[in-house]
């Protein structure tokens, strides 16, 4: 009896994301054209600002760094079947904590101060994520709502702390004092050092997911909670572990941003970075290595946002819109279905119970 | 006699209210009045959640729905200089978003959480990009002085003088509650959310019902958004909805997916905010403003922590329905 | 003589698995026909085809001589076909009455009339000799009871053909005997 084989066009894992980007650019271009601006001009400006010069590339990579890390934070939780929308709050917690460590400890050598500040960032980012993780593991509260709520809580709390107890004295702005020089992360070969840290973390996570039992446990729980439970994997432990790791990474993202670029903690220094993390994670298909190119793309778009306004007259929020469109086309099975590709589905826990 | 928690809470509320009314009647009634104003968009948004989830669709995109609808309601009203047309635009926006969610969740069988998040991000991106300053609507939707009830003491100042969306909303919530438990539509919707194949084998179209409910829910979400920009205040800002769509989900869970339960939870929320506001104004308690801002979010988490895990959502929610899997 | 049910050359494939291979079969009114086969032989697939849950790749199905459209449970119900499923198609959290009226609820001015519904449940349970408690919640019932509700659900509409998919798999031997007796009674009454 002959087996009929369904012919599948297998164009590789990059096809759908790339096609999605093209379609999104087309739709975005239409919206730009409505405003009587030439979309091709706008896109040219976007691209050349981001990648056209050494300076531009440096800025792009600097912007990409926190995106890689927050993308990783979301991605590793996605692998466990959790939707960590709280990367933003965890990032801010990390930023504030590292800033505090940056200005509170005086006279430390750089080799100690920087890792210490990073550790502070990781710790407090993980702490915030732990709240959501514990609520999910022990009370079955869905992490989407808790992480979003925690975002707002952390933002408000951080603003309070930066305006009163941790405020830089003798000036009216809401911000912490500057960090010591010993806490500053320098550039390496003209490129932000933080970028290399981010890539290192991503490679480490990729290795972790592929070659360790921990990674295996996370994957299993992510694909099928019950199967994992039958196999003896503690669901609660995996949930808490994934959230802790995600939170720590997001915290480090905030820490690097603070220690290498901003130099102190200022509220609203990075509005929206956390949400871009979601886009990065989904574009990169929740793959620790895949988030790198996704982050560079988005980082480039963000880096050239203001230039686009200046030179092409388009509001910088076009980037928000384009990213939203890209995300839509990447995740909606529209394009994937057209080509009968097996959807590399990352399935999240839906529903509110355990 | 079974002592129901809801009776206890109601009695406690009446007792507290009577006490405060004796202290200062005007303030007491105005706090409850404000509570209703705070509660209404949350209650309507919670209804969106109830309608969707009871039929088996998880709707994380309520926030985005409200944001987009508030946006279109405001700007259409401002450009056309007609608040009513703005209201219609807002509701229509909600319908479109509802259809989109139904398309993604029912037809494309996408993961519903992702679908909701996409709606939120799309809404944020669109409203951000299209936002323009210096627009204003001719007037907010005018408050209505209720004919008979308005003259009653105590109840009058509380219930009267709300806007049209408020009254419609209250009627809708009661109507939804009745419809959900006493009409065929309600029975079928609940069956689809609990055990869709049972409904299917009984001849009920799961797909059609889900599309219908999600779309109507979208309209209500649009109404909630329009309320925010047209009735409560007459403005729109980026990020206007400030998490209300998510709080509504917590309210829905706390209210056990029951319209009246969710309404009560929303009122509780609104009351908490109104009381805190009043305490701020009276400077009874000196709390930094950031903590006031935090209150709704902290409350949401507390409510969820207390109720989730003990409650049972509709059994089939979040799972796309596939016919041949019986 | 027109058969009650004609299955003509029905074939169904699931991917590379051939579940039904050009099956033909006829059933007359008043007959009790049992399909026997090993696991995976394709029995469930075949009966689901008759009820409209599965679309055959080729072949025809006639009820009382009339060809029916495939993949349409409402159509099957309209032709007097009822089905008792292997996995009960009942809503666990709802009551017996609610489950039985689902899809065809007694109403007045748009509102469901639960009193009427309850009376109907009592009526048909007596008619077919399958006693059930109208207000019991399905998930609280023992399996044999739940199956009665499942059967009643199928019988509620005017059925001339009743399909049962692996009904004895979940029953105790005693319940199985009861079921067979019920089936004989039904056949006598013309189903």
pLDDT on residue A271: 58
% of residues, chain B, pLDDT over 70: 95
Any chains having at least 3 CB pairs less than 8 A from chain A are B, C
Out of A149, A317, A345, name the one closest to residue B300 (CB): A149
Residue C81, strand partner residues: C161
| pLDDT tens column, A248-307 | 999 999 999 888 888 888 876 655 555 788 888 888 888 888 899 889 988 888 888 777
Q: What is the mean pLDDT of residues A232-261?
A: 90
Q: If you count them, how many residues does chain A have? A: 354
CB atoms within 10 A of CB A104: 15
CA distances from B243 to A324, B45, B300 (A): 19, 11, 10
Tokens describing residue B73: 């309601």
Distance from CA of A343 to the nearest CA of C (A): 18
Phi, psi dihedrals of residue A266, rounded to the nearest 5°? -125, 130
% of residues, chain A, pLDDT over 90: 20
CB atoms within 10 A of CB B302: 12
pLDDT on residue B276: 81
Distance from CA of A5 to the nearest CA of B (A): 21
pLDDT on residue B326: 39
Instruction: Using an 8 Å CB-CB cutoff, list chain C residues near A2.
Output: none
| pLDDT tens column, A73-98 | 999 998 888 888 888 899 999 999 99
pLDDT on residue A269: 60
Task: Answer for the pair B226, B70: CB distance below 8 angstroms, yes or no.
Answer: yes
> Where is mean pLDDT largest: A340-344, B2-6, B71-75?
B71-75
Instruction: Using an 8 Å CB-CB cutoff, list chain C residues near A4.
Output: 16
| Extended beta strands in C28-171, E state | 58-63, 66-67, 81-84, 107-108, 111-112, 161-164
pLDDT on residue A353: 39
Q: What is the mean pLDDT of residues C185-191?
A: 71
Burial A212-240 (b: 16+ CB within 10 A, else e): eeebbbbbbbbeebeebeeeebebbebbb
Are the beta carbons of A83 and B300 separated by less than 8 Å?
no
Task: Answer for the pair B227, B40: CB distance below 8 angstroms, yes or no.
Answer: yes
pLDDT on residue C37: 77
Distance between CA atoms of B299 and B280, rounded to whole angstroms?
A: 17
pLDDT on residue C130: 79
Distance from CA of A1 to the nearest CA of C (A): 9
| pLDDT tens column, C75-102 | 777 777 888 887 888 898 899 989 988 8
User: Parallel, antiparallel, or unpaired for β C111-112 and C107-108?
Assistant: antiparallel
Instruction: Enter the ipTM.
Output: 0.78
Out of C89, C94, C105, name the one closest to residue B184 (CB): C105
Answer yes or no: is pLDDT of B228 > 50.
Answer: yes
Burial A60-86 (b: 16+ CB within 10 A, else e): bbbbbbbbbbbbbbbbbbbbbbbbbbb
| pLDDT tens column, C35-52 | 877 777 777 777 777 777
Distance between CA atoms of C62 and B72, rounded to whole angstroms?
A: 55
Which of the four pLDDT bands, split at 50, 70 and 90, describes residue B183? very high
Span between the terminal Cα atoms of chain B, in Å: 44
Which of the four pLDDT bands, split at 50, 70 and 90, describes residue B215? very high
Q: What is the mean pLDDT of residues A15-41?
A: 79
Answer yes or no: is pLDDT of B325 > 80.
Answer: no
Are the beta carbons of C18 and A4 separated by less than 8 Å?
no
Answer yes or no: is pLDDT of A344 > 90.
Answer: no
Instruction: Using an 8 Å CB-CB cutoff, list chain C residues near A1.
Output: 18
Instruction: Using an 8 Å CB-CB cutoff, list chain A residues near C16.
Output: 3-4
Distance from CA of B128 to the nearest CA of A (A): 6
Task: Answer for the pair B140, B83: CB distance below 8 angstroms, yes or no.
Answer: yes
Out of B183, B200, B324, name the one closest to residue C112 (CB): B183
DSSP collapsed to 3 states, B218-233: HHHHHHHHHHHHHHHC
Tokens describing residue C99: 């489950």
% of residues, chain C, pLDDT over 70: 94
pLDDT on residue C25: 80
H or E, element range at C22: strand C17-27
Distance between CA atoms of C173 and C178, rounded to whole angstroms?
A: 9
Answer yes or no: is pLDDT of A208 > 60.
Answer: yes
Answer yes or no: is pLDDT of B176 > 90.
Answer: yes
H or E, element range at A136: helix A110-139
Name A227's Cβ contacts closer than 8 Å, sequence gap at least 6.
Answer: A220
Instruction: Using an 8 Å CB-CB cutoff, list chain B residues near A148.
Output: 243, 246
Span between the terminal Cα atoms of chain C, in Å: 17
pLDDT on residue C191: 63
The DSSP secondary-structure symbol of C56 reads: -
Q: Between B259-282 and B25-54, two packed helices, what is the crossing angle to 10 degrees?
A: 140
CB pairs under 8 A between A and C: 3
């Amino acid at each position: 009896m002959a087996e009929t084989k369904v012919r599948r066009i297998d164009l590789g894992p990059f096809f759908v994301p790339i096609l999605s980007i093209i379609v999104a650019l087309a739709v975005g271009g239409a919206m730009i054209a409505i405003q009587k601006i030439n979309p091709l001009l706008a896109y040219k400006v976007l691209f050349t600002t981001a990648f056209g010069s050494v300076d531009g590339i440096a800025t792009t990579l600097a912007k990409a760094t926190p995106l890689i890390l927050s993308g990783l934070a979301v991605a590793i939780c996605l692998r466990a079947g959790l939707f960590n929308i709280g990367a933003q709050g965890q990032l801010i917690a990390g930023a504030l904590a590292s800033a505090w460590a940056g200005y509170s400890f005086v006279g430390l050598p750089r080799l100690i101060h920087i890792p210490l500040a990073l550790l502070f960032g990781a710790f407090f980012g993980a702490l915030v994520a732990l709240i959501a993780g514990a609520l999910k593991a022990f009370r079955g509260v869905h992490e989407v709502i808790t992480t979003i709520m925690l975002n707002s809580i952390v933002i408000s709390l951080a603003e309070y702390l930066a305006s009163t107890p941790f405020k830089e004295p003798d000036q009216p702005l809401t911000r912490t004092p500057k960090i010591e020089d010993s806490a500053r992360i320098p550039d390496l070969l003209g490129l932000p050092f933080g970028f290399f840290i981010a890539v290192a973390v991503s490679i480490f996570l990729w290795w972790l997911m592929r070659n360790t039992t921990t990674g295996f446990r996370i994957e299993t729980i992510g694909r099928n909670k019950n199967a994992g439970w039958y196999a003896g994997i503690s669901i609660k432990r995996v949930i808490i572990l994934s959230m802790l790791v995600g939170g720590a990474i997001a915290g480090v993202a905030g820490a690097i941003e603070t220690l290498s670029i901003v130099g102190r903690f200022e509220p609203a220094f990075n509005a929206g970075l956390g949400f871009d993390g979601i886009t990065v994670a989904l574009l990169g298909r929740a793959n620790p290595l895949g988030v790198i190119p996704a982050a560079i793309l988005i980082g480039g778009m963000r880096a050239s946002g203001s230039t686009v306004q200046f030179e092409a007259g388009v509001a910088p929020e076009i980037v928000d819109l384009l990213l939203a469109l890209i995300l839509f086309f990447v995740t909606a099975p529209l394009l994937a279905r057209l080509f009968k590709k097996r959807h590399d589905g990352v399935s999240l826990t839906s529903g509110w119970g355990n | 006699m079974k002592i129901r928690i809801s009776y206890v809470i109601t009695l406690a509320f009446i007792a507290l209210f009577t006490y405060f009314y004796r202290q200062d009647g005007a303030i007491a009634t105005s706090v409850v009045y404000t509570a209703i104003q705070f509660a209404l968009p949350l209650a309507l948004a919670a209804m969106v959640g109830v309608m969707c989830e009871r039929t088996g669709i998880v709707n994380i995109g309520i926030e985005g729905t409200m944001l987009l609808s508030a946006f279109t309601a405001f700007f259409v009203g401002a450009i056309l200089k007609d608040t009513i047309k703005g209201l219609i635009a807002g509701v229509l926006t909600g319908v479109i978003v509802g259809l989109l969610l139904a398309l993604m969740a029912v037809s494309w069988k996408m993961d519903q959480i992702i679908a909701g998040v996409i709606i939120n991000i799309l809404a944020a991106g669109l409203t951000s990009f299209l936002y323009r300053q210096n627009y204003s609507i001719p007037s907010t939707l005018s408050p209505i002085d209720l004919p008979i009830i308005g003259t009653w003491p105590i109840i009058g100042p509380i219930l009267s003088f709300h806007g049209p969306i408020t009254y419609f909303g209250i009627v809708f919530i009661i109507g939804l509650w009745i419809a959900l438990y006493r009409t065929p539509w309600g029975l079928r919707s609940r069956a689809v959310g609990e055990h869709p194949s049972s409904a299917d084998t009984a001849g009920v179209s799961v797909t059609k019902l889900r599309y219908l409910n999600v779309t109507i829910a979208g309209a209500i979400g649009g109404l909630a958004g329009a309320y925010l920009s047209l009735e409560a205040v007459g403005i729109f800002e980026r990020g206007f909805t400030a998490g209300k769509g998510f709080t509504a989900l917590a309210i829905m869970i706390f209210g056990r997916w029951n319209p009246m339960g969710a309404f009560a939870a929303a009122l509780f929320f609104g009351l908490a905010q109104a009381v805190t506001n009043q305490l701020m104004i009276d400077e009874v308690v000196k709390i930094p403003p950031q903590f006031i801002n935090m209150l709704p979010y902290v409350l949401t988490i507390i409510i969820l922590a207390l109720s989730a895990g003990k409650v049972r959502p509709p059994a089939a929610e979040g799972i796309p329905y596939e016919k041949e899997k019986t | 003589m027109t058969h009650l049910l004609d299955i003509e050359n029905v074939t169904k494939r699931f991917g590379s698995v051939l579940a039904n291979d050009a099956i033909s079969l006829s059933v007359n009114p008043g007959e009790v026909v049992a399909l026997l086969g090993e696991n995976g032989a394709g029995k469930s697939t075949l009966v689901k085809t008759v009820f409209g849950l599965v679309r055959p790749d080729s072949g025809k199905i006639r009820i009382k001589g009339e060809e029916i459209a495939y993949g349409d449970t409402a159509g099957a119900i309209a032709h007097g076909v009822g089905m008792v499923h292997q996995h009960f198609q009942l809503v666990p959290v709802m009551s017996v009455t609610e489950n039985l009226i689902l899809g065809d609820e007694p109403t007045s001015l748009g509102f469901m009339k639960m009193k009427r519904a309850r009376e109907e449940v009592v009526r048909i349970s007596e008619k077919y000799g399958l006693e059930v408690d109208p207000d019991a919640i399905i998930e609280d019932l023992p399996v044999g009871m739940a199956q009665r509700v499942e059967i009643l659900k199928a019988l509620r509409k005017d059925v001339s053909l009743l399909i049962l998919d692996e009904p004895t798999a979940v029953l105790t031997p005693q319940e199985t005997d009861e079921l067979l007796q019920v089936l004989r009674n039904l056949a006598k009454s013309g189903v």
